[in-house]
């Protein structure tokens, strides 16, 4: 019996979340310190978003190829949904416990234009594994 690298959708979703979350933390720091003062919140998010989504596309493809993930749509949808859920939880926890924001201010920030753009980008991030099944 040959050994396989295939992993669960939870495992790949966790790796997908972790890699993009770490990249997002670095790019978010750059956005906040460099872009935001010169172009404002909305344009800063619009500039950052394509880089994160491009990295997410590449990283998702790497993970599903390297770990020989199932091409089953449910598997890929679970992978992305798990990653998105972990991302939302981590963003909330970092905002409240690391940056000292209230939970109300976290949700209020999402309801701004730049927050909604970011949220849309996060939803796309969650759907990238399943999108790759159809857009190779």
Averaged pLDDT for residues 27-41: 96
The secondary structure of residue 5, as a DSSP letter, is -
Domain membership of residue 22 (yes or no) is: no
Domain membership of residue 27 (yes or no) is: no
Averaged pLDDT for residues 11-39: 97
For residue 128, the model assigns a pLDDT of: 98
Domain membership of residue 103 (yes or no) is: yes
Q: How many CB atoms neighbour CB 38 within 10 A? A: 8
Q: Are 114 and 32 in contact (CB under 8 A)?
A: no
Q: Are 42 and 114 in contact (CB under 8 A)?
A: yes
Quote the tokens at residue 101. Answer: 């924001």
Domain membership of residue 60 (yes or no) is: yes
The secondary structure of residue 35, as a DSSP letter, is I
Domain membership of residue 50 (yes or no) is: yes
- Overall domain count for the chain: 1
CA distance 55 to 13: 15
| Residue span of the structural domain in which 68 resides | 38-134
Query: Model's pTM, two decimal places?
Result: 0.92
Domain membership of residue 19 (yes or no) is: no
For residue 7, the model assigns a pLDDT of: 83
Domain membership of residue 81 (yes or no) is: yes
Which are the contacts of 90, defined by CB distance < 8 A and separation ≥ 6? 17, 21
Domain membership of residue 4 (yes or no) is: no
Q: Are 120 and 50 in contact (CB under 8 A)?
A: no
């Amino acid at each position: 019996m040959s050994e396989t690298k295939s992993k669960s959708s939870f495992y790949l979703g966790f790796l997908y979340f972790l890699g993009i979350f770490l990249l997002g933390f670095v790019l978010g720091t750059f956005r906040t310190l460099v872009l935001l003062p010169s172009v404002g919140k909305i344009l800063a998010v619009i500039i950052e978003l394509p880089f994160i989504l491009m990295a997410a596309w590449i990283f998702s493809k790497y993970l599903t190829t390297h770990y020989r993930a199932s091409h089953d749509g449910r598997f890929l949808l679970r992978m992305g949904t798990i990653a998105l859920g972990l991302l939302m939880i981590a963003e909330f926890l970092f905002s409240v416990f690391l940056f000292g924001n209230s939970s109300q201010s976290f949700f209020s920030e999402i309801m701004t234009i730049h927050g909604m753009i970011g949220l849309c980008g996060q939803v796309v991030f969650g759907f990238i594994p399943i999108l790759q099944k159809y857009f190779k």
